[in-house]
Amino acid sequence: MPFHPFFPIYHFITNFPLFSPLFSTTFPPFPNNPKAKYKIIDLFAGIEETRLGFHLTGQCQTVFSSEIDKFAK
């Protein structure tokens, strides 16, 4: 087991299902909910935690994403 000063905190946080997508090594798709209550635009696309948080509520649909890297869309 590698030593890292924050390893106990990281291990503790990743055991919660709500936080596990933030520490995933894969890139899950963000499916839009057509019955979403709110529509959002993602102006800070490089900060995926913001968009992920909104999508985890199930109430938001992203209608625009501002990303300059064409492979990150």
- Over its C-alpha atoms, the chain yields an Rg (Å, rounded) of 15
Residue 64 lies in a domain: yes
Residue 2 lies in a domain: no
Query: Structural domain of residue 13, as residue ranges?
Result: 7-72
For residue 44, give Cα distances in angstroms to 28, 33, 36, 69: 18, 20, 21, 12
Residues near 41 by beta carbon (within 8 Å), at least 6 away in sequence: 62, 63, 64, 65, 66
CB 14 within 8 A of CB 23: yes
How many domains in the chain?
1
- Position 25 scores a pLDDT of 62
More confident residue, 68 or 47: 68
Residue 66 lies in a domain: yes
Residue 21 lies in a domain: yes
Residue 43 has pLDDT above 60, yes or no: yes
Residue 1 lies in a domain: no
Query: Which of 4-18, 26-40, 56-70 is the least confident region?
Result: 4-18
Residue 37 has pLDDT above 80, yes or no: yes
Residue 33 has pLDDT above 70, yes or no: yes
* Neighbouring C-beta atoms of residue 55, cutoff 10 Å: 22
